[in-house]
Structure formats: C-alpha cells, structure tokens
Structure 1
Amino acid sequence: MTQQLGKFIVIEGLEGAGKSSAINLVKNIISQHTGQDPVCTREPGGTPLAEKMRDLVKIADESDPLCDEAECLLFYAARAQLITNVIKPAMSAGQWVLGDRHNLSSLAYQGGGRGLMPLVKAISDATLKGFKPDLTLYLDIDPTLGLQRASARGALDRIEQQHIAFFERARATFLEFAAQDDSIIVIDASQNIEKVHQDIVKQLTNVWAVERIN
C-alpha cells in the first residue's frame, strides 16, 4: 500500500501579526485532526546550516551591510536546505509539516518590499520547482499596528527595523498573491487574539470538511 503524503501548512504574516500564537493553535488542531504532532519548521532556519543563514540575515553588521540581493539568495539557500532535508522527507513519511513562513514571505519581503520581484521569481522557480504549501494562513495586519506590537515584545531585529514603507509594500504583495491563490486564506489579525483564533479554527474546519467531501 502506498504511503499517503503528509500535508504542508504555513502561517504567514507581517511582524506583530501573532504568528507564534497562531502556530501553537494550528499545531494543536493538526494533532487532533491527524492523531500525531506535526513537524514544525521556521524560515529562515530549520536545519543546522539554515539556522546559520538565519543569523546572517537577522543580525545587522554595520562593518559589512548585507545587500538586498545577498539577503534574497540567503533566504532561498536556507529554504532549499529545509525543503530537501526536512519538509519533503517528513511529508513522504506521511507526516504533516507546519511552517512558520515559507516562499510567500520572500515574494512579499524581498519581492515587494525590496523591489526584487524578477529576481525572487527566478530563484523561486529554480529552487522550488513548483513545490508549495497545501494551505497558507496569512495573518493580515496594518504595518503600523504590527510594528507597535512587535516593539512591545523587545528589541527589533535587522528586518523588523525597516522603514514603514517597506512593510506597506510587503503587505500589498501578500494580499496581491492571496487574491490570486485559493490555497492562501486571509485572516484579519488586527482583531483580538480570541477572535483571530476563532477565525482560524473556522477556516481550517471548512477546508477539511471540503476535503472529506471530495
């Protein structure tokens, strides 16, 4: 009997959108739905080598500023490592994978925010070869509110310190791609956490109900 492939679910959103609490919620929902805990990943990172790349893009070095193109390449190098060594093997073994960010973040941040969309799409096509999540939950929030929430958590990293216009461009790109792809569900993250979680539960329940029918 052929092993059924696991699913790949991703949580996306700007800084301060509440991804961490959403991930914990979705992890519990997947565990109840499948009877096993999902493999949890984060991007950039998720493998020993990819975690080193995460440090390179997150930590500012004033003596050697990371240029936008190098940032983009590092994100995709880390993603390729994660997909090859963690995500695909887990799915092939029938395990579900829950990701904290994936390719949509690069399209939004490096493509929209940095203005490198042609480069991002070219690298995406070359490295991913059509691989994508089965479902993405995009937590949508106004950048000003999101950054206020992020600042309340503590010091901001190199990317979180970008100008507000960067995040406005990223948000517009997130929403643009969501409007074109039925596998991306938009959740209003400006609501209180209880309402956000209610919406997530409702959306996942609807998606899996349709899957059972089909």
Structure 2
Amino acid sequence: MSVTTSVLCFTAQGLAFVSLPFYFQDVIGVSAVATGLLMTPWPATSALMAPFAGRLADRYPAGILGSIGLAIVGVGFVLLAVLPAHPGTGDILWRIAVCGGGMGLFQQPNARAIVMAAPRERSGGAGAIQGSARLLGQSIGAAMVALVFGVSVGGRGALTALVLAACFAAVATVVSLTRQFDFVRAGRPEHEPSVTEPADAPGPAA
C-alpha cells in the first residue's frame, strides 16, 4: 500500500510540476523567470517540513500522516485551480507553499514505512523500490500532461491537468488511509522498530 500511495502521489506531483509553468504563463500571464520564482516555495517548504515530519513519524502511523499530507497537497492543487484571473504574487506563493508543505509531510513517513516493511537484510532493496515508485509516478504524470494537452481545446490543458492532479492526490489520500485500517484489522500496529535499530538480545536459556 505504501508503494501504491507513493506512485499515486508522485503522479499527482508530475502532473502539477509539468502543467503549472504552462498555467502560470498561458493562463495567468506571468513571465518565464517569474514562473521559476513562483515554484520556489514548493521545494523550500518540503525541505523545511521534512525534519518535523520525521519526528512525527516516530510517534504516529505513516497511514495517518501520509493521508494528512496528501489531503493538504490536494487542497493546494484545488486552490491553485481556482485562482482569480489576475492574482497577486502572494496569492500564488502561499498556495504553492501549501502544496510543498503537504508533500513534505507525506514523503518522510511514507519512505519510512516502505523501508520498515522490508526485512532488515533487504532494506537497500526497499529504498530502491521507493525510488522506482517516485520515478514511475512522475513519468506517468508527465505523460498524462502530454495527453491532456493533446485532447484539450481552448487552451485549458494546464488547468485540466491541475484538476487531474488534485484527483490523484485525493485517491492517494484514501489509499494511504486504507493501509492504516489494514494494520488495525490485522491486529498489529503499523509502528514497528526501524530496520536500522539493533534487534533485542535473546534472553537466557531456560
């Protein structure tokens, strides 16, 4: 479930990252340089959120934290899609920051869940799966933007792709929350010792 959630999340991110520059330039009418600057809050807030999310991941299940982060990302996409015709710079920046903050809250707990799900000796392979899920999702998102632009009329391709990104974020939110219910039904907590933690020493023989 964590890998599926990751693919869905990065599909939404791919849709947004490719379509937003077109949205800013063709729909809102800002320059290419301004478009690059307007995207800056996304990685900045993701980086700022990462240490905070890491501490939360030590206390709360990844399914819950991931769902909250993805819901924030989806709300950010919707807020960007409903921007007024002539928004101010601040109107765009704080919406981009919302998306980045939500992504930062999702990534660290989800990455931890993927690694923890693997046996200790296969933690490296789990990290590779995490990277593959990210690349697959971003590739799917970029391909979907091309498809949307090809079938859209009236220059609404960028806006349509952004709405589609919000839909993927919503689906990812549900999938992330579902994995938490799966752990509860299985009768075991999602929170388990990290693969980097040493195993408990065996007790004395009877």
TM-score by length of 2: 0.31
Which structure shows the higher strand fraction? 1
* Higher-RCO chain (CA-CA 8 Å, sequence separation at least 6): 2
Higher Cα Rg: structure 1 or 2?
Answer: 2
Q: Which has the higher helix share?
A: 2
